Structure 1
C-alpha cells in the first residue's frame, strides 16, 4: 500500500490511505464523542449539514469563478476552462472581504447542527480559508501541500478546525488529509526554522494518514494539534471548500475586535462583544501576519495599526496570540 511518505520517490502519485472514521453514530452521546476525539483527534460526519445551505455558499464561489472567467458558474462540476489564472485571487480575497462565512453559519439548520454537536452556542472565530483551488500545473511534485498543526500558530485558542467540502472531492481533486491520533503527542514543527517552522518530511508516520471522498453535507472537525494538509488537485475541476474555527461560547473564546492602541510592547483592544483591555506583547506572544509568518517583536508597532481587526487571546494580561482578521 502506497503512502504519502512514498511521494518523495513517486511525487505525482495519489496516496492510498485508510478511510476516516465516521462519528455519525456518536451524535448525541457526549462521552462517546469525547472518547473518539481523544483517540483520533477528529470527528468526521457524513451528510449532516443542510445541502441547501451548502449549495448557497457554493453558488457564491461559482459566481466569483465566473466573474474571473475561469469556470462556468452554472457548471455543477466546477470544471476549469483553461483560461489564464493571471490575476486570479488564489486566497479568495473577495470572499474574505464580504465575510461570506457569516450568512452560512447563521443559516438555522447549520446553527442547529453545531449547537447540538457542541452542546453550547457555537462561537465562530473569524479565521477563515476559502478554497477554490484550480488543477495543479505541475504534477511532478509531492501532493502534500504544507503539513502543519494549527495549534502551533494559535497558542491560547482552544478551537476546533471545521473543514467543509462544497462539492465532491475525490482522490484526484485532493482535499484534506490528516494524521490520526497525533494530536496528543509532541508538536512536530521545527522550531529552528523560522518564520514558518515547517514540519520535517516524514514526521507523520505513513500509517497515520487518513482521508475519504468528501461530499456536500459532510463536515470534518479536527483538534488544533492534528497534523494535516491539502492534497494537490490532479483533476480538471476546482476544489471547493471552506475551513473555519469553532468553539463553545463557554470555552473561554478569544476576543475579536479592533486595536485602539498599538505600542512596542503593548496593545489595547475593543472587542465586538464588549470585552476590552490592555495587553502586554512580549517574546512569548505569537503575533502573526496575514502571510502566516511570525512577526518579530521589534516590528509589532509597524505591522499592526490602530483600527486593525484582530483576534487576540490573553492570559494574565499578556497576549498569547494576536493575528489579523482576513
Structure 2
C-alpha cells in the first residue's frame, strides 16, 4: 500500500553542486557548466550590498504592513494581502538592481566569474513571496526554460537569495543536466506553451538551503521553477540576467518603428538597426505570452522601451524590458 506525500513535502531532491572551488579555473568552470547547466556559489556576494538591496524590499513590505522593516526574518504580520504588489511594481519602477550591480564588489565578482565585463539585461524579477494562502499537491510554481521565451539572447540567469530560504520557504529548484536537450515546452499549446507534467525525471531535481551572499547562475535552457512558500515569512530574492559584454548582446533602448514585418530600434549604447520580423520572431509581453505576428503593432509602438535580439537581419525577440 502506498501513502500520499504530505501536502507540504517536496519530492526528494539532491543538493546543488557547489562551484566555489572552480573560481579562477576557466576550463573547470566551463566543464561544470556543460555538465550541469548551472554554477552554485556559496557566500560570494558582498553582504553589505545584499543587505542594502534587501532593505529596499523591506521598505515596501513595511509600507503595506505585511512585515516590519527591521524584522530580519521578514515574518508575515497577517495583514490582508489585498492590494499587495505581488509583482513588486514599486521596485520595478525604482530599479534597485542598477545600484546593486554597480557596487564595486558585485561588479568585481561578476568580472571574475565571466572573465569579461558584465552586460546586464534589464529583465529583472523582484520576488517577495508571502506564505501560500492555500496548499496544493505540487509545490512547483511554474516550470519553464528561459531560452524558449528569449530567443537570441544567450544570457545567464542569476538568482540571488536575500534571506535564508529553506525547504519550507521554498526557493528555487532546477533540473540538472537538462539544458543540453531540446526545449520541453509544448509548442502546440500557445500562447504560453507550458512544459507538460512528467517531462522532468524526478532524479534530475536539485535545490539547496540558500543564504544571503549565495548566487545561483543557470544556463538559459535549464528547466527550473520557484517552489511555493509554506513558511510563515516572506521569501525574498531577485533574479537578473547577465552575459559577457563581448558576446552577441541584444540592443536595449527604444523602438523607432514597428510593423508586422519589421522593427527598428535605437539602443542606449548608440547602436541601432532595422530587422525583419517573421512568424518565428518571439514578440512577448511581460507574462511571456507570444504575440501573433499580425498583432505585434497593436501591442508595441514607436517610442516604447524594448529589448531586440537579432541574428543577421532578422529579429529573434522583441520584448519590453520588464
- TM bracket, shorter-chain basis: over 0.9
User: In the TM superposition, what are the counterparts of 1:24-103 in structure 2 within 5 Å?
Assistant: 24-103=20-99
User: In the TM superposition, what are the counterparts of 1:57-206 in structure 2 within 5 Å?
Assistant: 57-206=53-202
Structure 1: 4+ residue segments shifted above 2 A: 6-12
- Give, in whole Å, the separation in 2 of the partners of 1:7 and 1:53: 46
Find the counterpart in structure 1 of residue 14 from structure 2: 18
Find the counterpart in structure 1 of residue 226 from structure 2: 230
Of 246, 249, 261, which aligns to 2:245?
249
1:240 counterpart = 2:256 = no
Query: Taking structure 2 as the reference length, what is the TM-score of the superposition?
Result: 0.97
Counting matched residue pairs gives 321
Shift of 1:12: 3.1
Shift of 1:8: 8.7
Is the Cα–Cα contact under 8 Å of residues 280 and 318 in structure 1 kept in the other structure?
A: yes
SS class of match (1:132): strand
- Give, in whole Å, the separation in 1 of the partners of 2:129 and 2:297: 34
Shift of 1:10: 4.9
1:264 counterpart = 2:267 = no
SS class of match (1:216): coil
Post-superposition CA distance 1:143-171 (Å, at most 9, x none): 01111000111111100000000000000
SS class of match (1:131): strand
Is the Cα–Cα contact under 8 Å of residues 41 and 222 in structure 1 kept in the other structure?
A: yes
Change (3 A) 1:198 1:107: same
Is the Cα–Cα contact under 8 Å of residues 7 and 13 in structure 1 kept in the other structure?
A: no
Q: What's the RMSD between the two structures over aligned residues?
A: 1.4
SS class of match (2:172): strand
- Give, in whole Å, the separation in 2 of the partners of 1:92 and 1:70: 13
- Give, in whole Å, the separation in 1 of the partners of 2:171 and 2:3: 16
Of 196, 201, 209, which aligns to 1:213?
209
